[in-house]
Amino acid sequence: MKEVEILVKVKDDKDEALEKLSKFNFAGKREILDIYFYDKKRKSLQPKNNRLIKCFRLRKKDKKNYITYKVDKFDSLGKWMYSEEEETEIKDFDIALKIFSLLNLTPLVEIDNIKYTYHTKEYEIVLEDVKNLELFLEVEKLKVGDKEDVVVVKRKILNFIKSLDIKTGDELNSGKPELMLNKQKNQIQ
């Protein structure tokens, strides 16, 4: 499935941002734990310059668990454009962790956050309060056709974000795992 979204840092206070989003359909507040894994033997599942091109993730979302495989797609200048994502629900988080360990998959980074999700007919809007990182806004186009021009879709998402009247930074062009890896690298140096 083609996932086209934009992630930006929120500069407003969380309560102010939530107030501005309250005009949309509220889908709920969820606590989510994502664990991203790498494979010491398979280069495609290793970060390159703190960037994940392909990744394997285990997610705990409320009382449900999921495994996900993502492949990021970039333009000719190396700017992230979208991801191809395959995800399925699994029954037991702890058994999955054990299986991944037996397969020699190593935890790379954990993203622990609280997501406030809203919907419009076209978009999923998520305000994310990420532990040990920052406050983010992620807007994803709900249905993207295979033939749709990703550049046009992203331009529409950016215009939608501007219309929200929430103070944000520019598009980050990286995901939260990369941001966490960069933060951890900077703390070590």
**pLDDT tens, per residue, the chain with 189 residues:** 678 999 999 999 999 999 999 999 999 999 999 999 999 998 888 888 888 889 999 999 989 999 999 998 888 888 888 889 999 999 999 999 999 999 999 999 999 999 999 999 999 999 999 999 999 999 999 988 888 888 999 999 999 999 999 999 999 988 899 999 988 876 554
- pLDDT, residue 72, reads 87
Identity of the residue numbered 49: N
pTM over the 0.75 mark: yes
- In the numeric block, the tokens 């020699």 are attached to 104
Structural domains of the chain, count: 1
Kindly report the CATH number assigned to the domain that includes residue 143: 2.40.320.10
Range of the domain at 158: 2-188
